[in-house]
Amino acid sequence: MTKTPAAKETNGAKDTPSMPLFYSNPVPLDAKKHATLGLKKNFGLGFTNTINAVPINMIEMPQICHHYPIAFSPDANATPVALVGLRDNENLFVDAKGNWQADAYIPAYIRRYPFIFSELPNSDQLTLCIDMADSVVEENGEQRFFDAEGKGSPLANNALEFCKSYHAAAQQTLEFSKQLADSGLLVDRRAEISVVGNRRISFSGFRIIDEQKLAEMDDKIFLDWRKKGYLPFLYAHLFSGAQWQQLTRLLNERLAKESN
């Protein structure tokens, strides 16, 4: 599929031996090899049901903050993530049929699947790949990736444009996260959640911005971040703390159903 000059894939598809979240076998789309291959209709979002956090891009944070708590990974990358669950291997926003909760914003990382950019060996270019999962692709389906002439279908071309936009946003996020990680503003946090049945759940392994440290931030750095446009995203993270109540409510609703 059409290539675009770019840096390495980031924010969930890093230059590591492990596969990006959700992907099992991403393969470059090829007009000859995949002439009859297509995307299954309505394969749903069930592939997200065992995750409790998903990577997000910086530009999404003002939307994300209205639906999910925003945290940062505890590693040196300080990747921003939307928290979608409070227990291991559980996404509270997707149901058993693979439907996302109505009216809740779906992060771009999820909407991008099953497409992804991948860097070709010995090249500085990226190519569009598709995850070759049986639940996602099929032979001789209606939603083909290529037309009879071997040209990219509207589906594939739209996926290519979406991945281009995603990649550009991921590069911005990478720089934002690096500066945030180096700033000393992030602190480790543990959340203690009270749920039905007088039980408590401990949720850890994430970092947040310390508001006191932000208030005491060096004026020169603060002004530099303002010029770079970072401030709205810092405040979006802080505002997102109100969504812990939303997660707790969803978990209590699910626990109530499990007990019936």
Strand partners, 199: 195
Instruction: Look up tokens 């409790």; give the residue.
Output: 52
By the 8 A CB rule, do 164 and 2 touch? no
**Greatest C-alpha distance within the chain:** 63
DSSP 121-173: TT-SEEEEEEE--TTTEEET-SEESB-TTSPBPHHHHHHHHHHHHHHHHHHHH
Model pLDDT, residue 12: 34
Number of domains in the chain: 1
By the 8 A CB rule, do 176 and 60 touch? no
Question: Hey, what's the torsion of the CAs at 44, 49, 52, 53, to 10 degrees?
Answer: -30
Model pLDDT, residue 126: 86
Give me the domain span that covers residue 145: 3-259
Model pLDDT, residue 14: 34
What is the number of helices (H) and of strands (E) in the chain? 7, 12
Alpha-carbon distance of 111 to 68, in angstroms, equals: 16
Per-residue pLDDT of the chain (260 residues; tens, 9 = 90+): 543 323 233 333 333 347 899 999 999 999 999 999 999 998 899 999 999 999 999 999 999 999 999 999 999 999 999 999 999 999 999 999 999 999 999 999 999 999 999 866 666 788 999 999 999 999 998 999 999 999 999 999 999 999 999 999 999 999 999 999 999 999 999 888 888 877 888 888 999 999 999 999 999 999 999 999 999 999 999 999 999 999 999 999 999 888 87
The SS3 call for residue 28 is strand
Instruction: Look up tokens 């759940």; give the residue.
Output: 201
| 94: DSSP letter | B
Model pLDDT, residue 121: 63
